[in-house]
Structure 1
Amino acid sequence: MILSLKNVSKTYSNGVKALDNVTIDINAGMFGLLGPNGAGKSSLMRTIATLQSPDSGSIHLDGLDILNNKIEFRKNLGYLPQEFGVYPKMSAHDLLHYFATLKGVSSKSDRKLIVEKALEITNLTEVQHKHVAGYSGGMKQRFGIAQLLLNDPKLIIVDEPTAGLDPAERRRFLNVLREIGTNHIVIFSTHIVDDVKELCTDMAILNGGKILAQSTPKEMVAALNGKVFTRSIEREELERYESEYNVISTSFNENSDLMIRVFSKDLLDSAFAKASPTLEDVYFTTLRQDQGVTELSNV
C-alpha cells in the first residue's frame, strides 16, 4: 500500500497558504506528521480525507485518484479528527452496531464479529455497555478508533489524538495505534515529539505548509551524531549564548543548573560536552533552519 501526494497546495480565502507544494509518499505502517500548532497538519489531514479540495496537485492511494473518486476512496478511509461528535445517551456497543449498519454491514452476525473485534483491539470490551458520554478523554479517543475500524480501512488518519490525555490514557491509546499500524497506513499528526519517537516507523516534519524533512526517526537522529553539544551556564548568560551559538533547547538538571543544547557542525571547546542527539534535537534544529537560523561563524 502507498499513499502518494504530488505538488499539493492550498491557500484559504483569507490569504493563508496552508499547504505549499507538498510532495510525499507514505507506505504501510505508522507515519508521524510532526509540526507545531499552525504548521498545516490539520489542513493536510482534511485534504487527504477529501474534506476540502486542494488548489493544485494530486493524491493517489494505491493508484486510485482520490480527488476524482471521493466516494470510492472514502470506503477505504478511517478518519479521527481532533474533535468528533458522539451520541451521549447510547452505549459504545449500540453506537458501534449503528455505525456498522450505516457502513453497509447488514448481517447481524457479521456486525457482531466486527464490533467485538473493534472493541477488543481498542480495549473497550469491559466498558462497552456504558454511555460514551461517561468515558474519559482517552476512552473517547479509543472509541473513535473503534468506529473507524468497522470498515477495515486501508488508510487511517488521526489528527492530534493525544492532546489533553493523561499519561496512562496516552499510553493505552498509543498501544492501540501501534497494534493497528502493522496492517494499515496510519498517519499520525501531532506536535508531541515523544509520540512520534515511541510509535512511528517513518515521519516527516511540517511547518508553514511545507515538508521540511522526511525519513525514519532513527535515521534523522543519526544524522545529528557528533553535532550536538551541551554545557551548564548561569541563567543570566543565556541571552549571550543564544546570540553566539545555535542553541537548540534549554532545560534544568537535577541540581537546578541551566543546561543548553547546541547544534554545531564543528567541534566546540572543552567547556562543551558531546551529547547523544535526540528526536527533539532533530525537530528543533529543523524548525530553526526553516526559520532562517544558521550556524554562526564562531561555531
Structure 2
Amino acid sequence: MPANELDKYLKDGKDRPSHRKNFYGCKKVDTLDYYAKRLGELNIDIEKRQHQHTNNRPISSVFIEFPSQLELQRAYQALPYNAKLKSAKKFTGITPEDVIWDNLNSSPITRKLKKIFASIVLTLMILFWSIPVTFIGVFTNINMLTEKVEFLSFINDIPDVFLGFLTGLLPVAVLAILMALVPYFIKFMGNIAGCLTVQEVETFCHSWYYAFQVIQSFLVLTLASAATSSISSVIDEPQSALTILGEKVPPASNFYIANTCYQSLTLSSGLLLQII
C-alpha cells in the first residue's frame, strides 16, 4: 500500500494542490500536507485556550447549547418572564458566520448609545441626501427652466431624442446609482450601532432604507420635479404657489413611469444574464 493513498489518484503525485502562504512571493507549499499540519497546531492551541478560559476577561454575552429543540424553545420562551433577562437580546439557530463578534462585549447601555449615534448620523444623511436628489428632480423638468434661466436656453435647440434622454433616462439611472450606495453605508452604521448578528444588521438596513426610499425617491423627487415645472408660474403668481404646485404634481409621474421601465428592464435582464 502506498504511503499516501491520494497519490494513486494523481499522476505520479505531481498534481497535488499547492499554494503560497502569503502574497509576498514565498515558496509554494503542498496544500494537503500544510493544512493537515496546521489543523493539528490549531487543535493544540484551541485545547490550551480552553483550559485557560478563566484567565480571559468575561464579556456580556453567552452561548448556550441545548440537547434538543424542545429544551431550547422552553428556555427561549421562559426568558421574557425573568425579571433580569426579559430585556436581554436573544437569538436562536445562528451560526458563527452570523455573529458580529466585535459587538458582543458591548453592554446594553453602550448599545443604546451606539444606536442613538447611528440614528443621528443616518437622519443627517437623509437630510443631506436630499441635495443631490433635488438636482435629479430638477433635471426631470429642466426644459421648463429655459424661460427664466437664460443660460439654459440652449436646451430648446436639443433634438427631442436627446432631450428625452436628458429628462427621462439619465435622472432615473443617476438616482438608481445614488440609491444603490445607501444600503452599504446603512449596514456599516448597523455594525456601529451594536447589532449582534448579520440578520439584525439586515433588518436595521431594511428599516432605514425604506425611510430613504420614501423620503428621497418619493417626496423630495416629486416636490423638486413639481417645483421645477411650475417655477415660471410661481414667479408670476406667488400668491397661488400652493395651487400651482398641486396642479404640477401629477406630471411628475412621468419620472416614475420611466423609473418603472428602467427597473423592469435592468432587473429582468440581470436575472436572465446571471451577472452575479
TM-score strictly above 0.5: no
Q: Which has the higher contact order (CA 8 A, sep 6+)?
A: 1
Richer in helix (by share): 2
Richer in strand (by share): 1
Larger Rg: 2
Provide the TM-score with structure 1 as the length reference. Answer: 0.17
Provide the TM-score with structure 2 as the length reference. Answer: 0.18
